[in-house]
Protein backbone atom coordinates (compact mmCIF):
# COMPACT_ATOMS: atom_id res chain seq x y z
CA UNK A 1 0.00 0.00 0.00
CA UNK A 2 1.17 3.60 -0.60
CA UNK A 3 2.90 5.23 2.36
CA UNK A 4 1.10 8.03 4.14
CA UNK A 5 2.30 11.56 3.39
CA UNK A 6 3.16 13.26 6.71
CA UNK A 7 1.08 16.26 7.71
CA UNK A 8 2.47 19.47 6.26
CA UNK A 9 4.61 17.69 3.65
CA UNK A 10 4.18 16.88 -0.03
CA UNK A 11 4.67 13.57 -1.80
CA UNK A 12 7.58 13.46 -4.23
CA UNK A 13 7.24 13.36 -7.99
CA UNK A 14 6.41 10.05 -9.68
CA UNK A 15 7.91 9.82 -13.17
CA UNK A 16 7.03 6.83 -15.37
CA UNK A 17 8.76 6.84 -18.79
CA UNK A 18 7.55 4.77 -21.75
CA UNK A 19 11.02 3.43 -22.60
CA UNK A 20 13.60 4.33 -25.25
CA UNK A 21 13.93 7.89 -23.95
CA UNK A 22 16.32 10.04 -25.96
CA UNK A 23 19.77 9.81 -24.41
CA UNK A 24 21.75 11.65 -27.05
CA UNK A 25 20.74 14.92 -28.71
CA UNK A 26 17.56 15.73 -26.76
CA UNK A 27 17.61 14.56 -23.14
CA UNK A 28 14.63 16.62 -22.03
CA UNK A 29 13.04 13.76 -20.05
CA UNK A 30 16.17 12.82 -18.12
CA UNK A 31 17.07 16.50 -17.68
CA UNK A 32 13.68 17.20 -16.14
CA UNK A 33 14.01 14.16 -13.90
CA UNK A 34 17.23 15.68 -12.54
CA UNK A 35 15.51 19.06 -12.06
CA UNK A 36 12.64 17.63 -10.00
CA UNK A 37 15.19 15.59 -8.02
CA UNK A 38 17.05 18.68 -6.84
CA UNK A 39 18.78 20.11 -9.92
CA UNK A 40 22.46 20.77 -9.31
CA UNK A 41 22.07 19.27 -5.83
CA UNK A 42 20.37 16.11 -7.14
CA UNK A 43 21.50 12.93 -5.40
CA UNK A 44 20.30 10.01 -7.54
CA UNK A 45 20.29 6.26 -6.96
CA UNK A 46 19.96 4.18 -10.15
CA UNK A 47 18.50 0.68 -9.72
CA UNK A 48 19.25 -1.45 -12.83
CA UNK A 49 17.94 -4.72 -11.36
CA UNK A 50 15.33 -5.24 -14.09
CA UNK A 51 18.07 -5.46 -16.72
CA UNK A 52 20.43 -8.37 -17.38
CA UNK A 53 22.88 -6.10 -19.19
CA UNK A 54 25.81 -5.06 -17.00
CA UNK A 55 26.29 -1.77 -18.82
CA UNK A 56 22.78 -0.46 -18.02
CA UNK A 57 23.54 1.00 -14.59
CA UNK A 58 26.86 2.65 -15.56
CA UNK A 59 25.19 4.14 -18.66
CA UNK A 60 22.58 5.98 -16.57
CA UNK A 61 25.21 6.93 -14.03
CA UNK A 62 27.11 8.61 -16.84
CA UNK A 63 24.01 10.28 -18.28
CA UNK A 64 22.81 11.77 -15.00
CA UNK A 65 26.34 12.93 -14.24
CA UNK A 66 26.64 14.66 -17.62
CA UNK A 67 23.28 16.35 -17.10
CA UNK A 68 24.55 17.83 -13.86
CA UNK A 69 23.44 15.70 -10.89
CA UNK A 70 25.70 16.23 -7.90
CA UNK A 71 25.93 12.55 -7.02
CA UNK A 72 24.87 9.32 -8.77
CA UNK A 73 25.11 5.80 -7.34
CA UNK A 74 24.25 2.53 -9.07
CA UNK A 75 22.60 0.08 -6.68
CA UNK A 76 21.87 -3.37 -8.06
CA UNK A 77 20.12 -6.23 -6.26
CA UNK A 78 20.92 -9.88 -7.00
CA UNK A 79 19.07 -11.48 -4.08
CA UNK A 80 16.29 -10.55 -1.67
CA UNK A 81 18.89 -10.66 1.08
CA UNK A 82 20.56 -7.64 -0.55
CA UNK A 83 17.38 -5.68 0.18
CA UNK A 84 17.99 -5.93 3.92
CA UNK A 85 21.48 -4.45 3.99
CA UNK A 86 21.75 -1.42 6.24
CA UNK A 87 24.19 0.38 3.94
CA UNK A 88 21.86 0.17 0.97
CA UNK A 89 18.91 1.41 3.01
CA UNK A 90 20.97 4.32 4.33
CA UNK A 91 22.03 5.27 0.80
CA UNK A 92 18.40 5.28 -0.35
CA UNK A 93 17.49 7.47 2.60
CA UNK A 94 20.10 10.02 1.45
CA UNK A 95 18.86 10.16 -2.16
CA UNK A 96 16.72 12.95 -3.61
CA UNK A 97 15.84 10.87 -6.69
CA UNK A 98 15.48 7.12 -7.29
CA UNK A 99 15.46 5.77 -10.85
CA UNK A 100 14.58 2.26 -12.10
CA UNK A 101 15.92 1.20 -15.50
CA UNK A 102 14.14 -1.01 -18.02
CA UNK A 103 14.25 -4.76 -18.36
CA UNK A 104 11.85 -7.29 -16.82
CA UNK A 105 9.38 -5.88 -14.29
CA UNK A 106 8.76 -9.31 -12.73
CA UNK A 107 12.47 -9.58 -11.94
CA UNK A 108 12.16 -6.29 -10.04
CA UNK A 109 9.06 -7.26 -8.09
CA UNK A 110 10.26 -10.75 -7.19
CA UNK A 111 13.54 -9.38 -5.83
CA UNK A 112 12.25 -6.17 -4.19
CA UNK A 113 8.60 -6.84 -3.39
CA UNK A 114 7.82 -6.91 0.34
CA UNK A 115 11.39 -6.06 1.34
CA UNK A 116 12.78 -3.22 3.47
CA UNK A 117 14.05 -1.60 0.25
CA UNK A 118 10.54 -1.47 -1.23
CA UNK A 119 9.17 -0.01 2.00
CA UNK A 120 12.00 2.52 2.12
CA UNK A 121 11.31 3.71 -1.43
CA UNK A 122 7.58 4.13 -0.71
CA UNK A 123 8.39 6.04 2.47
CA UNK A 124 10.93 8.29 0.78
CA UNK A 125 8.48 9.15 -2.01
CA UNK A 126 5.84 10.00 0.62
CA UNK A 127 8.42 12.31 2.21
CA UNK A 128 9.16 14.20 -1.01
CA UNK A 129 11.76 12.14 -2.90
CA UNK A 130 11.31 11.76 -6.66
CA UNK A 131 10.88 8.17 -7.89
CA UNK A 132 10.83 7.31 -11.58
CA UNK A 133 11.60 4.58 -14.03
CA UNK A 134 11.67 3.71 -17.70
CA UNK A 135 9.93 0.80 -19.46
CA UNK A 136 9.77 -2.03 -16.89
CA UNK A 137 10.89 0.54 -14.31
CA UNK A 138 7.75 2.54 -15.10
CA UNK A 139 5.39 -0.43 -14.89
CA UNK A 140 6.36 -1.29 -11.32
CA UNK A 141 5.71 2.14 -9.78
CA UNK A 142 2.01 1.71 -9.02
CA UNK A 143 0.27 -0.79 -6.76
CA UNK A 144 -1.25 -2.70 -9.68
CA UNK A 145 1.28 -3.75 -12.32
CA UNK A 146 0.84 -5.22 -15.79
CA UNK A 147 3.14 -8.23 -15.80
CA UNK A 148 2.35 -9.41 -19.34
CA UNK A 149 -0.47 -9.49 -21.87
CA UNK A 150 -1.63 -9.79 -25.45
CA UNK A 151 -0.78 -7.19 -28.08
CA UNK A 152 -3.53 -5.56 -30.13
CA UNK A 153 -6.47 -3.25 -29.47
CA UNK A 154 -9.05 -5.92 -28.56
CA UNK A 155 -10.27 -6.37 -24.99
CA UNK A 156 -10.48 -10.09 -24.30
CA UNK A 157 -10.82 -12.19 -21.20
CA UNK A 158 -7.45 -13.32 -19.93
CA UNK A 159 -5.69 -10.80 -22.18
CA UNK A 160 -3.57 -9.39 -19.39
CA UNK A 161 -1.79 -10.70 -16.31
CA UNK A 162 -1.52 -8.41 -13.29
CA UNK A 163 0.89 -8.59 -10.38
CA UNK A 164 1.59 -6.42 -7.32
CA UNK A 165 3.86 -3.49 -8.10
CA UNK A 166 6.00 -1.26 -5.89
CA UNK A 167 2.92 0.53 -4.56
CA UNK A 168 3.85 4.22 -4.65
CA UNK A 169 0.20 4.88 -5.52
CA UNK A 170 -2.99 3.00 -6.31
CA UNK A 171 -4.36 5.78 -8.52
CA UNK A 172 -3.22 4.44 -11.89
CA UNK A 173 -1.96 1.47 -13.92
CA UNK A 174 0.99 2.01 -16.27
CA UNK A 175 1.74 0.43 -19.62
CA UNK A 176 4.80 1.35 -21.69
CA UNK A 177 6.09 1.14 -25.28
CA UNK A 178 2.39 1.75 -25.74
CA UNK A 179 1.76 2.74 -29.34
CA UNK A 180 4.91 1.05 -30.64
CA UNK A 181 3.80 -2.37 -29.30
CA UNK A 182 0.04 -1.93 -29.76
CA UNK A 183 -0.91 -2.35 -26.10
CA UNK A 184 -4.30 -0.65 -25.90
CA UNK A 185 -6.19 -3.91 -25.46
CA UNK A 186 -4.22 -5.11 -22.48
CA UNK A 187 -4.47 -1.73 -20.71
CA UNK A 188 -8.23 -1.70 -21.25
CA UNK A 189 -8.51 -5.24 -19.96
CA UNK A 190 -6.48 -4.34 -16.88
CA UNK A 191 -8.96 -1.52 -16.19
CA UNK A 192 -11.87 -3.92 -16.62
CA UNK A 193 -10.44 -5.82 -13.64
CA UNK A 194 -9.88 -2.58 -11.69
CA UNK A 195 -11.97 0.38 -12.98
CA UNK A 196 -11.05 2.43 -9.91
CA UNK A 197 -7.64 3.15 -11.43
CA UNK A 198 -6.73 5.38 -14.37
CA UNK A 199 -4.90 3.70 -17.24
CA UNK A 200 -1.77 5.51 -18.47
CA UNK A 201 -0.29 4.28 -21.75
CA UNK A 202 3.15 5.78 -22.41
CA UNK A 203 4.69 5.94 -25.87
CA UNK A 204 8.44 5.60 -26.20
CA UNK A 205 10.51 8.73 -25.48
CA UNK A 206 7.56 10.03 -23.49
CA UNK A 207 7.11 10.54 -19.75
CA UNK A 208 4.35 11.44 -17.34
CA UNK A 209 5.62 13.83 -14.66
CA UNK A 210 3.11 13.39 -11.83
CA UNK A 211 3.48 16.15 -9.28
CA UNK A 212 2.61 16.28 -5.58
CA UNK A 213 -0.77 17.83 -6.50
CA UNK A 214 -1.64 14.70 -8.57
CA UNK A 215 -1.39 16.61 -11.86
CA UNK A 216 0.24 14.66 -14.67
CA UNK A 217 2.15 16.61 -17.33
CA UNK A 218 3.45 15.03 -20.52
CA UNK A 219 7.09 15.41 -21.54
CA UNK A 220 8.79 13.99 -24.62
CA UNK A 221 8.22 13.38 -28.31
CA UNK A 222 5.32 10.89 -28.19
CA UNK A 223 1.89 10.72 -26.64
CA UNK A 224 0.24 9.54 -23.46
CA UNK A 225 -3.07 7.70 -23.66
CA UNK A 226 -5.30 8.22 -20.62
CA UNK A 227 -8.11 5.72 -20.09
CA UNK A 228 -10.45 6.79 -17.29
CA UNK A 229 -12.72 4.06 -15.94
CA UNK A 230 -14.20 5.95 -12.99
CA UNK A 231 -17.54 6.42 -14.80
CA UNK A 232 -17.83 2.87 -16.13
CA UNK A 233 -21.43 1.69 -15.82
CA UNK A 234 -21.02 -1.88 -17.04
CA UNK A 235 -18.32 -4.48 -17.60
CA UNK A 236 -18.66 -8.08 -18.77
CA UNK A 237 -15.22 -9.14 -17.50
CA UNK A 238 -16.80 -11.42 -14.90
CA UNK A 239 -18.86 -13.27 -17.51
CA UNK A 240 -16.41 -14.03 -20.32
CA UNK A 241 -13.97 -16.87 -20.80
CA UNK A 242 -10.36 -16.47 -21.86
CA UNK A 243 -10.18 -15.17 -25.42
CA UNK A 244 -13.75 -13.86 -25.50
CA UNK A 245 -14.47 -10.20 -26.19
CA UNK A 246 -15.12 -7.95 -23.19
CA UNK A 247 -17.75 -5.21 -23.13
CA UNK A 248 -17.30 -1.99 -21.11
CA UNK A 249 -19.57 1.05 -21.07
CA UNK A 250 -18.66 4.54 -19.90
CA UNK A 251 -14.92 4.65 -20.53
CA UNK A 252 -13.34 8.05 -21.19
CA UNK A 253 -10.20 8.36 -23.30
CA UNK A 254 -7.74 11.22 -23.77
CA UNK A 255 -4.65 11.44 -25.98
CA UNK A 256 -2.10 13.90 -24.60
CA UNK A 257 1.10 15.26 -26.11
CA UNK A 258 3.95 17.31 -24.61
CA UNK A 259 2.72 20.03 -22.26
CA UNK A 260 -0.79 18.61 -21.89
CA UNK A 261 -2.02 17.74 -18.39
CA UNK A 262 -4.42 15.42 -16.61
CA UNK A 263 -5.49 15.81 -13.00
CA UNK A 264 -5.85 12.48 -11.21
CA UNK A 265 -8.08 14.07 -8.55
CA UNK A 266 -10.56 15.91 -10.77
CA UNK A 267 -10.16 13.64 -13.85
CA UNK A 268 -9.90 16.76 -16.04
CA UNK A 269 -7.55 16.85 -19.04
CA UNK A 270 -6.18 20.08 -20.51
CA UNK A 271 -4.12 20.90 -23.56
CA UNK A 272 -1.75 22.99 -21.44
CA UNK A 273 1.21 24.72 -23.06
CA UNK A 274 1.81 22.37 -25.94
CA UNK A 275 5.43 22.06 -27.04
CA UNK A 276 5.85 22.53 -30.75
CA UNK A 277 7.94 20.08 -32.72
CA UNK A 278 11.43 21.25 -33.66
CA UNK A 279 12.10 22.28 -37.25
List 3, 37, 142, 204, catalytic entry: 204
List 37, 135, 139, 142, catalytic entry: 135
Has 135 been annotated as catalytic?
yes
| CB atoms near residue 86 (< 10 Å) | 8
Q: Please state, in angstroms and rounded to a whole number, the distance separating the CA atoms of residues 111 and 130.
A: 21
DSSP reduced 3-state for 159: coil
DSSP reduced 3-state for 23: coil
Has 96 been annotated as catalytic?
no
Question: Which one, of 153, 129, 175, 147, lies nearest residue 17 by Cα?
Answer: 175
Q: Please state, in angstroms and rounded to a whole number, the distance separating the CA atoms of residues 28 and 152.
A: 30
Question: Which one, of 123, 51, 120, 52, lies nearest residue 83 by Cα?
Answer: 120
List 96, 177, 217, 221, catalytic entry: 177
Has 241 been annotated as catalytic?
no
Output phi, psi for 34, to 5 deg. -65, -40
Distance of CA 59 to the CA centre of its chain: 20
- Catalytic residue numbers read 135, 177, 204
Amino acid sequence: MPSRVPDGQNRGWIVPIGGAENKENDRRILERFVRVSGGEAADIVVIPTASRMHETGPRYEQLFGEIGAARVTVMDFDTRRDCQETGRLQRLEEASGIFFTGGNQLRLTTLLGGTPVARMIRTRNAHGVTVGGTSAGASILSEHMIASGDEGSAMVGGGVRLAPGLGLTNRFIIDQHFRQRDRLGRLLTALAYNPFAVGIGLDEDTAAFIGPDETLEVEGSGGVTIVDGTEVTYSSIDKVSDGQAVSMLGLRLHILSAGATYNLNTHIAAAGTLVQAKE
